[in-house]
Amino acid sequence: MNQLANLPNLLLGNYNPRIDSNLRLILPAKFREQLKSGIVITPGQERCLYIWPILEFQTIYEKIKSTPLESKQARDFIRSFTDGAEDQIPDKQGRINIPPRLKDFANLGDWVVVKGAITRLEIWNPQNLEDYRKTTEEVFANISEEVLG
């Protein structure tokens, strides 16, 4: 029995789907049930895209709306985070549209990596992800105590 089945909305795994000529991406079957009520797709850090389940995005929204607009850092973050972002409901085949602005931002070609990142999915250009992994291997080994306590 899967021990993680009791964790709600856990997004894990790596998949290699294709973006079709209409800029549609078929979500991995494993995630479709969790995402069927809606997603928000945003720019992510390190030039990937984030796909947030709508309920998870509501948590992000609550944090953002309480951010003081007097803070230039907060305004800059909100502008970057929402640049090209959009909400969608996957179609019956589990397809979502990748907005052209976000496709360009993440330098996505026909084939991508969809990576589960616990609370969200990330969409990567495969070469960008490989380059990122190479630069963060040592950091990963050294920060587990800082992140996990």
Report domain extents, the chain: 3-148
pTM comes to 0.87
> pLDDT digit string (tens) for 126-142?
999 999 998 887 777 77
Q: Under CATH, which architecture does the 3-148 domain have?
A: 3-Layer(aba) Sandwich (3.40)
pLDDT at 14 over 50: yes
Mean pLDDT (the chain) is 90
Q: What are phi and psi of 82, to 5 degrees?
A: -105, 0
> pLDDT digit string (tens) for 47-60?
999 999 999 999 99
